[in-house]
Structures are given as structure tokens and as C-alpha cells.
Structure 1
Amino acid sequence: MRIKQRAWGFGIGLAGCWIAVAMACAAGPAADRPRPDDDWTFRPTVIIRKGNSQGSGSVISSVEGETLILTAAHVVEDRGPLKVELHRYNLGLENDQTGANWPRSIPAEVVAADEPADVAVLRIKGMRPLPFVARLAVQGAEPPRGTVVTSLGIDRGTHLSSWPTRIAQIDRFEIEGTGAERYFLITTKPPEHGRSGGGLFLPNGDLIGVCIGRGKLVKGRNSGIFASSSSIRHLLRTHDLDALILPARAATTTSATPHRRPSITTTQARPAR
């Protein structure tokens, strides 16, 4: 995947949507150490599999018979059946010793996607509501530069993890071939392969971004690239899904400032062998 800008050309490396099959078991240890904010962040984070492509997602709505999951669009581009993998921590059952079979693989479908923003929404039908749902940041709000945020996802296909970073800037550009510009959040820390589709969270637990990749966008150093809250809300609104989403508290808004960037090298994720 490459980023296209009218004045300067530069590329973007995907954070990686291919994860080793062993990752399903490796995600368990993170669930054995729940924290007070897990209900908004860790517990709504699920694993997504489609063909050879695998990544992360966040449960953003769950009612009787319908569950919605937010992820990166490139995670679900591959051919093959689409499945969402649920683990015990998704239901708060990490201490359950009944011997039930985990994880559980549930069929899903793509109900909305915006390729320019690299975001997608999946739907699971016919399932009871999940107890833990991520809370989206208020519509139109983007965090100011310097805001401390937390990224969740599967680094290198080994385990569900989180790390803190800061918003370096908010930018608007076109991912080459998509034909439209979107806003993106640029973070000081870049993601590793396998984190694609994972959520970016404010300290209060609000979800304000989706991991899509990394690139040398700030002073020649690798940075994280996340689809913005405005892109997420736009996708939900245009597909009549926003009414299902839990509202969040208002946040401070800020605007993007365009500036010149150097060229960067594309780093593609590779399928597990």
C-alpha cells in the first residue's frame, strides 16, 4: 500500500494482517491479567481471520442477534471465509475452568468498508450480546497533538498487548489507488506486523482510531498511522450504523496541518508459513 499526495510521493507500510496460526493460543495470557480499564479496551478486542489474512478488531456494538466489529479494510481483503475469533477474556471468563472449547470461531460478514480510510465494519448475526463493547469517541473529535493514547493489537502474531504513544500530528492524504483523501492520526511509536485493525484509545477508554500501518512521516522516523475518528464515524453514518453505537463524552477537537514529507519505503506484511 502506498500513500499518494499531490505535491510529494511517499509510501506506507502495512502494520500487517498476517499472523501465525499459533497466535490464537498466545492471546490467552494477556487475558489472565485484567486491569480496571480492560472492559473498554482489551476485552472488546477480537481476532479476525480471512483466508491467509489475520488481524485485530474492536467490538463496537452488541445487541441480541447482531454484533458489529471495527477493523482495518485490508485485514478482510483476502479470499476465503471470514471468521471472528472469541476468547474467554471477551466474555470475562478468563478464570473459567469448565473445560469448554476456546477460542470460538464465529462466521461474520463485511457490512461497511471505506478503502480510502482503510476501515471496515463486520457483522455477526444470531449471537447473544457480548458483555464488553468499546466506546467510540464523540463524532468529529480528534485528539490534539501530544495527547497520550494507547494502541491495542497483536504484535508479530505472538500476544494481545498494549503500548502507550502520543499523537504526533493529524494529516490528510490519499492512499494510492483509492481516489480520495481521508484524515489519519500519526503517532510517535510505529506498530509492528500483526497489529492492523487494532484500536487506538484515549486515557478515558474512548476509541479514536484504527491501526492501518506505519511510515516515515515525522522527521524521517517511523511513525504509526491510524484511521481517524472522523473516518470511522463517516463510515458508520453512510451505512446507517451509527444509531447502534454507544455514545461517548465530548473531546477537544483540532485540525490537520499539511506539511512536506520525505519519501518512505513500503513494508508489506507477509503471510504466515
Structure 2
Amino acid sequence: MVTLEVFALALALSAPNDAVLLEFSAPWCGPCRSMQPTVERLAREGYTVQQIDVGQRADLAKQYRITGLPTFVMIVEGREVDRVVGPSDYQRLRQLFPQRSVAESRVGATVRAQSPDGSQPSQAVASNLDPRALAVRATVRIRVDDPQGQSIGTGTIVDAYQHEALVLTCGHIFRESHGRGQLHVDLFDGVTARTVPATLISYDLDRDIGLVSLVPGKAVKPVRIATAGYRFHTGDDVFSVGCDHGERPSLRESRITSIDRYLGPPNIEAAGEPTVGRSGGGLFSREGSLIGVCNHADPRDDEGIYASLPTIHWELDRVGQRRIYAGSTDSLAVAAPGLRAPAMDRQLVPVNKSQPSPTAGSPNTGTDAEVICIVRSRTNPQAGERVYVLDQPSRDFLDRIARESRSGLAARTAQTPGANLPSLPPGGPVVRAQSSDRK
């Protein structure tokens, strides 16, 4: 697993509008531990501080010529401008930050971005970010509060328009609140986390996909969504980003193990079982294009199940935001079929594990068939899922499952909050068009 610390230097050097204070320390260092309350205070007040363990990152310690601990190095516009060696106090460390950076990094910047003077945070973020660093930086934590409790998931920033941003996530974190819960999104930068309110644009439980909008209060860099012509294959190297147990985003290297293994909406399986809290996080191709959204965990095979690219495109299409992926510049241009059929049963029935088949096919009822059932709580989205595998099920059993699924689907409808709201004009704002007449 890779955390934000791995990307500290890349982020500091590639974001020209950021000031980052690097703290070089070690767990065994007593003076370092004594500085922890001061570092935490800086972080709470909106200053960006990146802690670096010299035992784990000896390369960075050598690069920055660290000779004593703790050492604080101030990076502004990718260059070192000052440093403090040894224990210090809050006032001295705060003075290291340029006044411009202080104003921009405080949480209060959220208010300024929405001020009547029309000022907007710049969208100019360096384009030379490593794809993995960019994916981590664009990953957010989503919290949904309702009278029954709180649901926590992950989302990915996929678009930025003026001072607004659009986040892609899963649908099932909105199941218990029926789309009416209070939404808050946590954005991460170094060791700081900023919380902003958010608006649910749409979600669909059958395809397990959703969209959330927010005003981040500072410039954000969205990830690129792969186009309809993008092709991926079993065995491809991929990586995912998510908030394990509601913690800060972390990155996992993986590979695709199967494509469209299950009947229903297009799906991808990738190695590595996701933990609670990663639901809604992104699955990315090796070069950093978003190709999937985390839906389920499969403990038996130690794999994750992700909503696939056509489902992502379908969700953007229905809110009038096709431009987000249609304008991408992926090099592969082999047309792939869109998701134009009516909503299908979400039957997690594998279609020939060794050779995945199109999702529109019928379940195999021969002797080589197996049924995988994922059981999850309807009242507690944070509870763990159970997976049951039945080898060689009888035809009667499969028929009964089909009847139950059809009955359940007839009783459900796709959940779209604010159905009376006007749809987004192509290429228009993400938030205002949806929230202008919201009660």
C-alpha cells in the first residue's frame, strides 16, 4: 500500500501555487515527538505540513542534506526558501509560510471562493504530476449523515468548472438515507484535511454509481476518465485509491483478473480485496485514466468488484456531462458499446470464470456453473459483506433466483434525487444548475 507520504516531494515540487513545510523526523527522536502538538496545530489552522520519516525515506533526507532532527524545510513554488534545524516554536514555524500561501491555504478560503466579487480559485495546476500522485490528490472522503447514522465512502474528482467540482462515487452509500442525508466531503492536502458541504446530483442503486458536487475553495485537478474507445484486458496492471476505514486516501497496486464476470451492468474484477471505506474509490489504468468505481469486496478470491467504464459514461450522460469524457485524449480509438439497455438485474452470477462473456447473456446452467451471492446489510452500509459460493447449482435453484430478482427489481426504481430539477446543459456548471431551486 502507498500513502500520501510517498508523493510528498512530487506534490511539493509540481504545484506552483502551494507552500509546503517538510518536517524530517523519526519515531525514536524525542525532540521530534515534542514538536508533534505544534505540527498538529499548524495543520488544524490550514497550513500544509508533510511529515517525512528519515528511516523510511533516506533518499529524501540525503537530497535535502538533513544532518539533525527535527529539521523543517519550507518549499515554495518547488524550491527551498528557508529551513529550521532542531526544535522550534509555533510562531517561528508559522513565519516560514509566505503570507500569500497562508491566505490561500486556510479553510476560510472556501468562503472567499463564493464571495460576490466573483473571485475564483485558479484551475492552473501543474500538468506534470505523476498519475498516481494526481489520483491520490483527486480522491476525497464522503460522509453521509442521516437519523440512522453515518455512511462513509470514497470519491474521485472528475471535473472542475470555475469554482465548482464534480465527484464520482458509488451509489450504495446513499441507500439508507434515500439520497436525503447531509453530505460532507473531506479534501486532503499533505497532512491537512478540509471539510466542505456537498450536493448529491444523482445516484443509481442497480448500477451502483453516483455523482456529488461541491465547492472546494481552492484549485483542484480532476483525473481523466477514459473514453468510450479505451480498451483494457485481463492481466492489465491497474491501481486503486480509497479511504481504508475512513482514513486518508491510500493507493494499492493491482491487476485486472476478469472483465464482465457477472451478469448485470459492466463490471471489472481486480486483485486485492477492498476494505470498508474504499467503496466509491477509483480504479485506474497504468497511465492514470479512470476506468472503474469500487462496489464490492470478494473475500473468497481476495478481489474487488468495480463498476466498469460504460457505467461511468452512462451516469455522466444522464446528467448532461458527456463532455467530461468525450473530450479526453486517450490514444486508443476502438469503439466500445455504450450502456444503452434498460437497467438489468444485479445478479452477481459469474459467466464462465475462465472466459468472461458479455453481460447480456443467460446464466450457464451446465455442470460447470457456479453461483456467487454477496450478502450485505440493508440497514448498516458499513457492515462487512458475506460471500457464498455454490458449485453446480440446480436449474430449479437458478430459476428461483431469477424470479426473486425480477420481483425485487420491479419494486425498485433508480434513485435520482431532485427529479424535478432541470438537467444540466452540456458543458455547463455542475452545481448551480442543480441547486438553484433546491428547497
Q: Are the counterparts in 1 of residues 175 and 205 from structure 2 also a CA contact under 8 Å?
A: no
Q: Are the counterparts in 1 of residues 153 and 243 from structure 2 also a CA contact under 8 Å?
A: yes
SS at match of 1:234: helix
User: Counterpart of 1:116?
Assistant: 206
> How many angstroms apart in 1 are the aligned matches of 2:250 and 2:301?
23
User: Counterpart of 1:50?
Assistant: 144
> How many angstroms apart in 2 are the aligned matches of 1:156 and 1:128?
26
Shift in alpha-carbon separation, 1:221–1:103, aligned structure 2, 3 A:
closer
- Counterpart mapping for 1:1-273 below 5 A: 30-34=3-7, 35=10, 36-51=130-145, 52-79=150-177, 80-89=181-190, 102-125=192-215, 128=217, 130-171=219-260, 173=262, 181-215=264-298, 221-245=301-325, 247-251=328-332, 256-257=356-357, 260-266=369-375, 268=377, 269-270=381-382
Divergent runs of 4+, >4 A: 252-256
**What whole-Å deviation, never above 9, does each CA across 1:76-122 have from its counterpart, x for those lacking one?**
33433111111224xxxx6xxxxxxx422111112122322211111
> How many angstroms apart in 2 are the aligned matches of 1:30 and 1:263?
32
TM-aligned CA deviation for residue 264 of structure 1: 3.7
Amino acid at match of 1:107: P
> How many angstroms apart in 1 are the aligned matches of 2:298 and 2:270?
10
TM-aligned CA deviation for residue 156 of structure 1: 2.8
TM-score where L is the length of structure 1: 0.72
TM-aligned CA deviation for residue 197 of structure 1: 0.7
TM-aligned CA deviation for residue 69 of structure 1: 0.3
SS at match of 2:313: helix
More helix by share: 2
Q: Are the counterparts in 2 of residues 86 and 103 from structure 1 also a CA contact under 8 Å?
A: yes
Return the structure number with greater relative CO, CA threshold 8 A, min gap 6: 1
TM-aligned CA deviation for residue 142 of structure 1: 4.2
**What whole-Å deviation, never above 9, does each CA across 1:180-217 have from its counterpart, x for those lacking one?**
x310001132211111011001110111000011236x
Flag the structure with larger Rg.
2
> How many angstroms apart in 2 are the aligned matches of 1:138 and 1:183?
15
TM-aligned CA deviation for residue 223 of structure 1: 2.2
- The Cα RMSD (Å) is 2.8
Q: How many residues align?
A: 223
Shift in alpha-carbon separation, 1:119–1:140, aligned structure 2, 3 A:
farther
Amino acid at match of 1:266: V
TM-score where L is the length of structure 2: 0.46
Shift in alpha-carbon separation, 1:156–1:104, aligned structure 2, 3 A:
closer
User: Counterpart of 2:72?
Assistant: none
Q: Are the counterparts in 1 of residues 135 and 223 from structure 2 also a CA contact under 8 Å?
A: yes
> How many angstroms apart in 1 are the aligned matches of 2:214 and 2:245?
26
SS at match of 1:32: helix
Shift in alpha-carbon separation, 1:76–1:130, aligned structure 2, 3 A:
farther
Of 262-271 and 139-148, more deviation after overlay is shown by 262-271
> How many angstroms apart in 1 are the aligned matches of 2:212 and 2:160?
12
SS at match of 2:135: coil
Shift in alpha-carbon separation, 1:85–1:33, aligned structure 2, 3 A:
same
Amino acid at match of 2:310: S
Q: Are the counterparts in 2 of residues 63 and 129 from structure 1 also a CA contact under 8 Å?
A: no
> How many angstroms apart in 2 are the aligned matches of 1:142 and 1:116?
24
> How many angstroms apart in 1 are the aligned matches of 2:210 and 2:281?
12
Q: Are the counterparts in 2 of residues 39 and 133 from structure 1 also a CA contact under 8 Å?
A: no
